Structure 1
Amino acid sequence: MKQRGIWPDEFTFAPLLKACANLEDLEMGQGVHKHVLALGFGRFGSIRIGIVELYSGCGRMMEAKKVFDEMPHRDVILWNLMVKGYSQSGNVDMGLGLFRQMGERTVVSWNLMISLLAQNGREKEALALFHEMRNGEFEPDEATVVTVLPVCAQLGELDLGRWIHSYAKSKGLYPNLVSVGNALVDFFGKSGDLETAITIFNDMPRKNVVSWNAAISNCAFNGKGELGVQLFDEMLDEGVRPNDSTYVGAFACCAHAGLVQRGGDLFDSMIANHDIEPTIEHYGCMVDLLGRGGCLKEAHKLVETMTMEPNAAIWGALVSACRTHGEMELAEYALKELIKLESWNSGNYVLLSNIYADRGKWEDVEKVRVLMSGNSIKKAPGQSTIV
């Protein structure tokens, strides 16, 4: 555009700033901002909104606040951007304070603040705000339901979750909207009512991969692994392509049901049939599956041949399986690897010391004690070890 000698106008910069904000490209966005100032377009509201969105989205709240404060008229979109920017930058209290200052709020404003509180581990405040929203005669919508149901599951608010289920049906949000159906399946599954979760899942006229994932993973969560594997097979039969999360749920189902061979077949098919590269979480699930089934050599071989460095969770799963099945030599090896990754964790040293003591390796017990002392590790209260 510039090369052709076409001059930008006030309609040029708003989408440019939006693009920079979506890409979180602060440097390019600052360049666009300079052009805006140089050409005198900073007075246009849509452009100012774009500038606030850019800086708030990139965590530059001082710059965002400067533009925000200079605006004589601040609509609800601007307030929402500032609330979101502060909260996502780690200052949730500032975001909540701005929310309280808003002269006008929409359902989007309420949904945003509820979501931000929940994302920052403030679930009780999120639910309190939801009740305040209802008392203010704002009608919950799709986004409200999808945001609040996980909070209900987290806090064990079963009655409220059931009320939301009833509300969603009365307003046509369920079964018409897939996202609401997915949230309901996950809520009831996480709340231990798998029967209702599966009923809702079966009644959904349309499903996506998230729907299947929710149903499969909640079968594992509720100890119904065989049902989860059956759902996985039905998913493939219906032509739905599984993703990373699908296989995490399927592996967990296999682990709970003791389906070691099936889990191994699924792991192979994930790579061969669906071109999904295993993640650290997939490997962790497989080590857990093999370990629970007593296939410790296979679990160790899988860890040693991983395409990435095993993390503490992987070694921890192997240690747990070895202790369960009495494979102390491999447990000793895995614990040494675990200590390399978690040299601060006194529990790992205590476990290793106890394994040495059980095997009569007293010199090694003393070495662990010296190692703990050298690393300034103190045994946590309640841990028992022979040193």
Structure 2
Amino acid sequence: MRRKRMNDRSSNRPQRSSLWQKCTSFRALKQVHAFMVVNGFNSNVSALREFIFASAMVISGTIDYAHQVFPYIAEPDTFMWNTIIRGSAQSLDPLNAVSLYKQMERRSGKPDSFTFPFLLKACTKLSWVKMGLGIHGKVVKFGFESNTFVRNTLIYFHANCGDLSVASALFDGSARRDVVACSALTAGYARRGELSVARQLFDEMPVKDLVSWNVMITGYAKRGEMESARKLFDEVPKRDVVTWNAMIAGYVFRGSNELALEMFEEMRGAGEKPDEVTMLSLVSACADLGDLDVGQRIHSSLLEMGCGDMSILLGNALIDMYAKCGSIERAVEVFRGMRRRDVSTWNSIIGGLAFHGHAKESLDLFKQMQRLKIRPNEITFVGVLVACSHAGKVEEGRKYFNLMRNEYNIEANIKHYGCMVDILGRAGLLNEAFEFIDMMEIEPNAIIWRTLLGACRIHGNVELARCANAQLLKLRRDESGDYVLLSNIHASRGEWDGVEKVRKLMDDSGVKKEPGCSLIEANNIAVMQFLFDSNSMINSRTKGF
């Protein structure tokens, strides 16, 4: 019996009974818990250990239930504390691991060499340097610093968010022969951008595990050094999904979206199964490319992988991709099919509908969002105000702008102000737009004044156009488009002297008219046709610029 307990302790997991092996769902877990309560919840230590292990580590999405039940365990042993701390450290809210350790101290629990690595991993995920240093002090106090598992986690913590000099000091001696310690320190230097040091450590490693290969490939990819990443990728003895993901994400990050898609095809050809991270990168690549056909193929691949009930992140990415590729109908279809949504989901669809001119549908969704008590943020209101602008809804625009500030306490940023100027300008309320800009609580930028200048052109208001142009010239004098807008306003009214004055102002300022061009795609070949160069501005009383 003693040997069995020692084995349980060393592996940090209990022997699974046939009852617990069948406990594979939240419903089954609650049934077993009910059985335990009926038969004296705290009377069987072995059953309690199994319960905590199943709820904190085995069954997906049940860690919160473990937190609810754990306080009712009269005398949790070290294994139970370690298990729930470990599960919390690996969860989406690792803060709970630190909170549980404090409870463990208050309830006179006795930590062992398994307790502190889980805590240090939680501190690393949270980037809690001060707390991590405190845990390091506890490690020294309890005499666990020489334990290989603890030492390697200390190296990992200090390398990633603590003190690199401490990580290097811990690495000296026997740790240099430990592949886990080598990988941890290499990862720390790579993630902090010190790739030259990381590469030196990597090259000196007596044995390189897959983690160290992935760390270096990811480090190069994050820096956009895809040639170096590809070289290592070609040399790695064995690849996993992380290796492929690093390359795909690196190409997307650098804007080489075609190469990312080629890498995906290569990945599938090698028999590697993509995961959610892979698909997120690919959907992002399709959005940037605006390639609807490829985007639909990626979406089909997701459904083939059994991702019908996809995550919020993936759903949001698909909505964004379809909206950017011009298929707002498919974006709405994805939105309607999502069982779980967050504020970003609503923002994506509200903004997508607004930018595609579906103002009514966009505003209807915002009202639905309000009915469901989902709190909007500053991005939500950008979409709402764009919808009001496209629909010419001036009063609704004012209402939502005030709602954002007064009810939700969201400070207006330059985008919100720009939307309001656009709303007023499109409606011909140019004087009000000018007064609105004058009352802004932040400094208007060139986009604000250019929006007003464009509205002045549409409505033929020369006086306000001159004022807007004067403000633009204060910000920058080398933007030829601003001069062209003002010139066209004069030309549309037949004020050719005004056209000449703007032309002279451009010449005096040394501004050259940018060559106009159109991009024509034929047989996948982009042909740039120059319509006129910078010296071919037409000095004509019939055409202006």
Give the counterpart of 1:167 among 291, 296, 301: 301
Alpha-carbon distance in structure 2 between the residues aligned to 1:353 and 1:154: 35
Q: CA deviation at 1:355?
A: 5.5
Alpha-carbon distance in structure 1 between the residues aligned to 2:453 and 2:471: 10
After TM superposition, list the pairs within 5 Å mapping 1:113-152 onto structure 2.
Answer: 113-152=247-286
Contact 2:506–2:512, Cα closer than 8 Å, also in 1:
no
Q: Which has the higher contact order (CA 8 A, sep 6+)?
A: 1
Q: Which amino acid letter does the alignment assign opposite residue 29 of structure 1?
A: D
Give the counterpart of 1:273 among 403, 407, 421: 407
Counterpart position of 2:226: 92
Q: Secondary structure of the equivalent of 2:440?
A: coil
After TM superposition, list the pairs within 5 Å mapping 1:261-300 onto structure 2.
Answer: 261-300=395-434
The verdict on how the C-alpha distance between 1:144 and 1:360 changes in structure 2, with shifts beyond 3 A counting, is same
Contact 2:202–2:208, Cα closer than 8 Å, also in 1:
yes
The alignment status of 1:368 with 2:498, answered yes or no, reads no
The alignment status of 1:53 with 2:187, answered yes or no, reads yes
The verdict on how the C-alpha distance between 1:369 and 1:196 changes in structure 2, with shifts beyond 3 A counting, is closer
Moved more, 187-196 or 110-119: 187-196
- Looking at CA atoms only, which structure, 1 or 2, has the larger radius of gyration? 2
Counterpart position of 2:292: 158
Counterpart position of 1:184: 318
Q: Which amino acid letter does the alignment assign opposite residue 331 of structure 2?
A: A
Q: CA deviation at 1:127?
A: 1.0
Alpha-carbon distance in structure 1 between the residues aligned to 2:171 and 2:156: 17
Contact 1:356–1:365, Cα closer than 8 Å, also in 2:
no
RMSD of aligned residue pairs (Cα, Å): 2.9
Counterpart position of 2:391: 257
Q: CA deviation at 1:120?
A: 1.4
Q: CA deviation at 1:232?
A: 0.8
The verdict on how the C-alpha distance between 1:348 and 1:42 changes in structure 2, with shifts beyond 3 A counting, is farther
Q: CA deviation at 1:214?
A: 1.7
Counterpart position of 2:203: 69
Q: CA deviation at 1:187?
A: 2.8
Give the TM-score taking structure 2 as reference length. 0.63
The verdict on how the C-alpha distance between 1:281 and 1:362 changes in structure 2, with shifts beyond 3 A counting, is closer
The alignment status of 1:110 with 2:244, answered yes or no, reads yes
Q: CA deviation at 1:65?
A: 0.9
Alpha-carbon distance in structure 2 between the residues aligned to 1:22 and 1:244: 33
Aligned residues with identical type, % of pairs:
37
Counterpart position of 1:200: 334
Q: CA deviation at 1:35?
A: 2.7
Q: CA deviation at 1:125?
A: 0.8
Counterpart position of 1:82: 216
Q: CA deviation at 1:21?
A: 6.2
Alpha-carbon distance in structure 1 between the residues aligned to 2:400 and 2:322: 27
How many residues of Structure 1 are paired with residues of Structure 2 in the alignment? Answer: 380
Alpha-carbon distance in structure 1 between the residues aligned to 2:313 and 2:267: 21
Q: CA deviation at 1:60?
A: 1.6
Q: Which amino acid letter does the alignment assign opposite residue 232 of structure 2?
A: L
Alpha-carbon distance in structure 2 between the residues aligned to 1:332 and 1:272: 34
The verdict on how the C-alpha distance between 1:194 and 1:348 changes in structure 2, with shifts beyond 3 A counting, is closer
Contact 2:460–2:489, Cα closer than 8 Å, also in 1:
no
After TM superposition, list the pairs within 5 Å mapping 1:323-338 onto structure 2.
Answer: 323-338=457-472
Counterpart position of 1:379: 513
Per-residue deviation, residues 341-377 of structure 1 (Å, max 9, x unmatched): 333323334445665773745895476145413xxx3
Q: Which amino acid letter does the alignment assign opposite residue 280 of structure 1?
A: I
Alpha-carbon distance in structure 2 between the residues aligned to 1:275 and 1:385: 51
Contact 1:319–1:335, Cα closer than 8 Å, also in 2:
yes
Per-residue deviation, residues 167-213 of structure 1 (Å, max 9, x unmatched): 32333312243333223333333333322322221222221112211
